[in-house]
Amino acid sequence: MEKHYVDDLRSGNELQVKKLYYAFREPCYGLCGKYGISPDDAADIYQDCFLIMRDYAISGKLYAVKGSFKTYLLGVFKNLIFNKLKADTLKNTIDMGQMRAEESVDSEDALTEEQRIFAISFEELGENCRDLLTMALYRGLTNEEITQIRSYENEAVTRSHKSRCIKKLKDIVNRNRNKWTDKNS
């Protein structure tokens, strides 16, 4: 990483920071067309990206980076684009945790015994656990993303909640499987 860029970001010298900001803006904006990001969103994403880079510079993290400043900045920018695309996709995704049984795409007859037991068990979970597991397992959100969405204190809290919810679901599935087996014996 070019030390002078990191030093400029750390210094707080408004003129130097401004030069850096504008020097790398166009390459980042160039990526946006490839991913269908609007110019307004591109400006917001770049602003966030630059703030992240400044925070990393101030904390000293950028001194340890092996690649160039531009390459690292483009990587951060691309990750923010992917996060934006993921968030937009999630907004348009049907939340399975909120689907009612009568809205189910599969008919009852098409489900296997295990699927029926799982569907019944999932509905028996509390709403909080259903939502958390839907975010984690169905939507594929990371613990970090769930932590931000749920406003948890940190990722450890998210992992703990997710672990408890999975344990609850397993217990309910086992109980329902035993009921089903007893009923059909």
User: Which domains are present in the chain?
Assistant: 3-91 (1.10.1740), 96-183 (1.10.10)
Is the pLDDT at 97 greater than 50? The verdict is no
Per-residue pLDDT at 184:
62
The proportion of the chain whose per-residue pLDDT surpasses 70, expressed as a percent, equals: 84
Higher per-residue confidence, 110 vs 127: 127
**pLDDT above 80 (res 50):** yes
Could you tell me the pTM of the whole model?
A: 0.50
Q: What is the mean pLDDT of residues 65-70?
A: 87
SS3 32: helix
* Calpha distance 169→97 (Å, rounded): 13
Supply the pLDDT for residue 171: 92
pLDDT surpasses 50 at 98:
no
Mean pLDDT, residues 7-19 taken together? 87
pLDDT of 40 strictly over 60: yes
Q: Of 63-67, 123-127, 128-132, 137-141, which range is least confident?
A: 137-141
Residue 102 has pLDDT above 80, yes or no: no
Q: Write the DSSP symbol of residue 38.
A: -
Interhelix angle 25-35/69-91, nearest 10 degrees: 30
The pLDDT confidence band at residue 22, using thresholds 50, 70 and 90, is very high
- Closest residue by Cα to residue 173 from 133, 142, 146: 133
* pLDDT, greater one: 110 or 87: 87
Mean pLDDT across 31-41? 84
